[in-house]
Structure 1
Amino acid sequence: MTDQELSIARGGVLLHDPYAVAIDEGVAVTLLADLQVRRAIARGEFDDLPGSGEPIDLPDQHDPEWWVRSIVQREHIALLPPSIQLRKDDAALDGRLDEMSDETAVRREIDDFNVRVVRARYELPSGPPLITMPRDPDATVQAWADRRAARAERGRQAARVDDPAPRRRRRRFRLFRSR
């Protein structure tokens, strides 16, 4: 018998089975969370929370983007116009390049910076004018290599100053006797 035939046999009223309804994951999680909160309230777990019964400190005006502002403030995110951000990136680029030890990674970083500068040149200006220019990859890589060589030389000189006379190591030979 089909469902309609069963309902007609029971007096013409179509009975609804609540367990036959499909529930997606979001609704199921919401129902479970609501059930857990209701049980915790019934047990009295929320009775002694600090600040209960006190008024909530709300601003005078409603800000629909309050959560974005709180994330920016909490994470110390700086939202700058592209021209200012590119100036900061240009000033910090040599420091980032000096941390790299591979020339291909240095060239990739320079190419990424140049792509951002060119893209910003084609966008409508929002903020101060863009004065940052793309970097010449070959000249920047050469400057990186020169700074790297100078750091290595300073390290060698510092090692020489710390150890003025190299000590000769004595070689120790063991004689193995056969037993």
Structure 2
Amino acid sequence: MTERKPPGMAFETWIDHQITQAQARGAFDGLEGSGRPLPRRVREQTSYEWALEWARRQEADPRDLLPPGMALRREREDLALAVPAMPSEAVVRATVADLNARVEAHWRRPQDGPDAVPGLADEDALVRLWHATRPPPAPPVPAPAPPPARSRWWRRRR
């Protein structure tokens, strides 16, 4: 932790003093990119463009930058694509219930500004979709015919 700025000293002077001390200690030696100029910007860049560029550099998914309401909407839309791969109807219902609970919690929190209001996912429609994408049941395998009854030796003699 740094020490406090002495009273009566200008803020800029205090910052310069701290930088000079750090240089004397060697805190800036061996840093990556030292001695090279900062890259030039060819044009003005908005904060949104900067965030997208940062996400590309970090190899992040731009969907991670969505506001909470939009992220919930996107998740509701993507749920229809994920339902056919789910193993059972109970898993589908649990996933939809979890999403709907998070949407309701989002509705309850105070909003800072205009937000995309996500709607609830239709559980019954997603269950019908799950049933519709199930492969048809395999036809029942007929039971093998019983072998013909053998006649007894004493009945054969007649």
Query: Scaled by the length of structure 2, what TM-score is found?
Result: 0.46
Structure richer in helix, relative to its length: 1
